[in-house]
């Protein structure tokens, strides 16, 4: 079947190739040579028709005769582009939106090395430091995120990284993005309220994010925990408790990660794994969350918390919280067999 689809695609691309002619002539490249190499390289892709369509979109979006000549002089560049265009519409759309990213991808070491969460975070913070307004900072984060998704995706397609490395990079990128958005929200909320204290909010990654197993289509599961409840003076707004303040900050982070604005969106965020689920506050104090797990926590929540990992915010708060919930996650004894509880849960579902 795959061979039949590729054969059908090769037949279908013939009309599409004619649309390249003007671009080729304007670049001063002999059409015969161009079409010979293009047919050859398209034939080696997983989806020749999609590759041809996206290649034309890419060239038309930011046409430069020099890049077309580069493709002719350095065959590996054209094959690299076509492989990406054939296998990922999402990555193709990124390159059509910003064609200059292809030069960055192929003329720097971008494809060859893995980035850590710390490296991602340093670059993200450097990007937002160039702007003062929160909306401009968020757009800078989105551009950085889009560029890095392209880099990681191309590394995956071109087999420059294995699956474990790809999922680890995607998880590190997501953690750095959450940290950057939290930083923007923190500074904005402090400016609005006049608050003058250190951020004691920790962001915990759960599920695939917590386990560093994120893939390109994953949503991110988050939990917001702050150090303790209490009151403070906020001269400029009617916020008087840490509960209000940190829930306002958590709302900002979730909203800015998910909303489509300016340069697009970042992630789908799932907050249903927090204490009380949809009916609970977005941010909860360490004491309140510990009380919840000790009195009402269920077996599935123990399983879920096995992958809990600090990804952003106050690391001291995160470490204290993880230590506090450890007896719940790994109890010495069970009042009831976990297997029985899981069986009942499956029955209820």
> Does residue 348 register a pLDDT over 60?
no
Contacts of 98 (CB under 8 A, 6+ apart): 146, 147
Of 36, 63, 95, the residue that ends a domain is 95
Q: Is residue 102 part of a domain?
A: no
Could you tell me the two tokens for 148?
A: 């890095």
CATH of the domain at 152: 3.30.460.10
Examine the domain organization and report whether 121 and 90 are in the same domain: no
CB 234 within 8 A of CB 195: yes
Residue 134 counted as domain residue: yes
Domain that holds residue 34: 2-95
- Has residue 165 been placed in a domain? yes
Residues 15-37 pLDDT 10s:
667 788 888 888 888 888 888 99
Res. 6: pLDDT tops 70: no
Report the SS3 class of residue 206.
strand
Per-residue confidence band for 334, with pLDDT thresholds at 50, 70 and 90: low
Based on the domain organization, do 198 and 60 belong to the same domain?
A: no
All residues at 6 or more sequence positions from 275 whose CB lies less than 8 Å from its CB, including other chains = 284, 288, 289, 292, 293
Q: Mark whether 75 and 169 lie in a shared domain.
A: no
The reply to whether 268 and 341 lie within a common domain is yes
Residue in 222, 281, 273, 223 with CA at minimum distance from that of residue 248: 281
With respect to residue 101, please indicate whether it lies within any of the assigned structural domains.
no
pLDDT of 22: 83
* % of the chain residues with pLDDT over 70: 90
Tell me if 183 is assigned to some domain.
Answer: yes
Element (H, E) at 269: strand 269-270
Give the DSSP letter string of 16-49: HHHTTHHHHHHTT--HHHHHHHHHHHHHTSS-HH
- Exposed (0-12), middle (13-18) or buried (19+): which is 107, by Cβ within 10 Å? exposed
Give the residue from 95, 126, 161 where a domain finishes.
95
- 117 pLDDT higher than 50: yes
pLDDT for 322: 98
Does the pLDDT at position 272 exceed 90?
A: yes
Strand, helix or coil at 231?
strand
pLDDT at 7 over 60: no
Tens of pLDDT, residues 307-318: 999 999 999 999
Tell me what pLDDT residue 238 has: 77
Residue 34 corresponds to which tokens in the numbers above? 């161009």
**pLDDT tier at 175, thresholds 50, 70, 90:** very high
Residues 6+ apart with CB under 8 A from 165: 114, 155
Count structural domains, the chain: 2
End-to-end CA distance of the chain: 38
The mean of the pLDDT values for the chain is 90
**Confidence (pLDDT) at 346:** 57
Contact 236, 194 (CB under 8 A): yes
Query: If you average pLDDT over residues 208-212, what whole number do you get?
Result: 98
Same domain, 65 and 152: no
Q: 223 with 312, same domain?
A: yes
**Structural domain includes residue 339:** yes
Same domain, 251 and 328: yes
Region 92-100 average pLDDT: 95
Q: Are residues 236 and 89 in the same domain?
A: no
Determine, yes or no, domain membership for 203.
yes
Average pLDDT over residues 249-263: 96
Q: Is residue 80 part of a domain?
A: yes
SS3 of 241, please?
strand
pLDDT at 3: 52
Rounded distance between C-alpha atoms, residue 34 and residue 291, angstroms:
69
From the list 229, 240, 228, the residue with the least C-alpha distance to 195 is 240
Asked if 161 contacts 155 with a C-beta cutoff of 8 angstroms, the reply is yes
Q: Does residue 82 sit in the same domain as residue 152?
A: no
Task: Specify whether 12 is located in the same domain as 148.
Answer: no
Q: Is the pLDDT of residue 8 over 50?
A: no
Q: What number is the average pLDDT over the span 80-107? A: 96
* Same domain membership, residue 273 and residue 228: yes
Residues 81 and 122 in one domain: no
Of the residues 95, 129, 162, the one at which a domain ends: 95
Q: How far is CA 187 from CA 166, 182, 192, 196, 252, in A?
A: 32, 9, 9, 10, 11
Count of CB atoms within 10 A of residue 297's CB? 19
Contact (CB, 8 A) for 184 and 286 = no
Read off the pLDDT band of 335 (50, 70, 90): low
What is the pLDDT at residue 339?
59
Min mean pLDDT across 19-28, 105-114, 249-258 is at 19-28
Write out pLDDT tens, residues 157-169.
999 999 999 999 9
């Amino acid at each position: 079947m795959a061979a039949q689809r590729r054969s059908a695609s090769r037949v279908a691309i013939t009309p599409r190739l004619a649309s390249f002619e003007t671009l080729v002539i304007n670049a001063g490249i002999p059409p015969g040579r161009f079409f010979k190499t293009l047919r050859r390289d398209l034939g080696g892709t997983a989806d020749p028709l999609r590759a041809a369509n996206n290649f034309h979109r890419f060239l038309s979006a930011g046409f430069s005769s020099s890049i077309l000549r580069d493709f002719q002089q350095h065959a590996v560049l054209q094959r690299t582009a076509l492989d990406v265009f054939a296998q990922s519409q999402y990555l193709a759309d990124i390159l059509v939106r910003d064609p200059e990213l292809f030069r960055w991808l192929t003329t720097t070491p971008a494809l060859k090395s893995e980035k850590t969460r710390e490296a991602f975070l340093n670059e993200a913070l450097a990007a937002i430091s160039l702007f003062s307004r929160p909306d401009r900072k968020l757009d800078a984060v989105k551009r950085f995120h889009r560029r890095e998704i392209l880099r990681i995706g191309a590394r995956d397609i071109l087999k420059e990284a294995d699956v474990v490395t790809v999922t680890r990079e995607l998880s590190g990128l997501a953690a750095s993005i959450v940290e950057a958005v939290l930083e923007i929200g923190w500074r904005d909320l402090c400016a609005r309220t006049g608050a003058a204290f250190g951020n004691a909010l920790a962001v915990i990654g759960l599920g695939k994010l917590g386990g560093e197993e994120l893939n390109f289509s994953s949503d991110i599961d988050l939990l917001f925990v702050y150090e303790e409840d209490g009151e403070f003076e906020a001269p400029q707004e009617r916020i008087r408790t840490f509960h209000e303040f940190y829930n306002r900050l958590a709302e900002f982070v979730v909203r800015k990660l998910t909303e489509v604005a300016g340069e697009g969106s970042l992630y789908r965020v799932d907050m249903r794994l927090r204490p009380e689920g949809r009916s609970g506050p977005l941010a909860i104090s360490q004491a309140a969350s510990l009380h919840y797990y000790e009195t009402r926590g269920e077996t599935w929540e123990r399983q879920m918390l096995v992958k809990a990992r600090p990804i952003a915010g106050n690391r001291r708060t995160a470490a204290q919280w993880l230590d506090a919930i450890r007896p719940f996650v790994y109890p010495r004894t069970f009042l009831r067999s976990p297997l029985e509880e899981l069986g009942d849960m499956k029955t209820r579902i």
